[in-house]
Amino acid sequence: MPGSFPQVLRAACLVACLTVFVPPASADPADAQESRQSPPRALVPTFESLPHTPFSKAVFNGWCGQHDRYLLDENGAVNAYEAGTKIAAVAISPGNPYQCSSDGRQLINIHGRHVFMVDIASDNSQWIASNDRAIAFSPDFKSVASSGPLELKPQAPQLRVILVKDKRTVGKTQPPEWIKWSANGSRIAVVYPTSVDILDRDGVNIASMTKSDIGWVKDGWFEDDQRTLTLFMETEQPPGSILKCSIAGKKCLARPRIESISIGGQGIVGTIIPLGKPPVRVDDSILLSKEYAAEIRSADSRLLARQVFPIKTGRWSFQIAVSPSGKRSILTWDDENQPECVSSEGSASTYKCKQGMLVDLTKVIK
């Protein structure tokens, strides 16, 4: 992050760790900032007032499986955690794409063209395939959807391979850019530069929708009823945007200005939203808003937790991730006030900037 921040007391850095009064927002989290002035006001806890476990000098890699296991990159070593307790070291390199099985016991690690299957408990890693195109495994690791030929190795488990085809348009061929299975393995989302396809578990097309070419997919989630696919799109310049794709309506609608979004179990939605007017661009540096709101909402859009973070305190680059159970959320940020913090890409001191908290949501989702 360019520039420096004034040194201030930590107490001044934080929004008070008490309940705060905020107005209810609209049903769509992407539109939440538009209704912050609407009465009546509701009593909502901050993240820091909820039970939470802080962590530092670690990068949150993601949730692993459906039982709230998660992976942290700690100074270049990836470790698996449950409820704030380290349970195993994981034999993968930080930054490599990976996918966990639904039970969280195994993961697929992709290193270049090599596809490895890793057993987390034993730390055993096996090279099972070679592939250089978009690929995604079913939650039970019994099927794989691939956009190109998959060279299976002798030690690979028995896999049902579904070949995902390129999209042919007028005068152009578009290969799949991103593939993901639904949590129950019944649907496959395939994203192309200008369209989205929904396939059944056998690779048969169910719906096709056009979309604008507004960046790349960071993540995506099917709703439990499989009727809607939500995609979080990023570009080189934040914030990102949401694409909400109705499978029945065969239409994708874009919602702008979302810094981070995550949809967990029970339809619990976490968002990071920049507040105020968008900053005016004067050069190619990253544009930051003066404040960001972190929110947790229920499936029916009820506001469960909210906290506003001003970047003048030195904290920025906020990200949020709701667990597969919906009972926990991880909130992370960079803090330039941390000793020896150097927030530049590729620097080992970047880890010293990393801060976060595992938040218990059980009290607010009842």
Residue 79 maps to a domain: yes
Domain containing 245: what range? 10-360
pLDDT tens-digit profile of 169-220? Answer: 887 999 999 999 999 999 999 999 999 999 999 999 999 999 988 899 999 9
> Cβ neighbours of residue 180 under 8 Å, at least 6 residues apart?
136, 188, 189, 220
Residue 178 maps to a domain: yes
Q: Helix H segments across the chain?
A: 10-13
Residue 365 maps to a domain: no
202 DSSP assignment? T
Q: What is the pTM of this model?
A: 0.87
Q: What pLDDT, on the 0 to 100 scale, is given for residue 11?
A: 36
What CATH number is given to the structural domain containing 154? 2.130.10.10
Residue 117 maps to a domain: yes
Q: How many domains does the chain have?
A: 1
pLDDT tens-digit profile of 226-255? Answer: 999 999 999 988 999 999 999 999 999 999
Distance CA 360, CA 330 (A): 9
pLDDT of 85 strictly over 90: yes
Residue 1 maps to a domain: no
Pairing of strands 160-163, 143-146: parallel
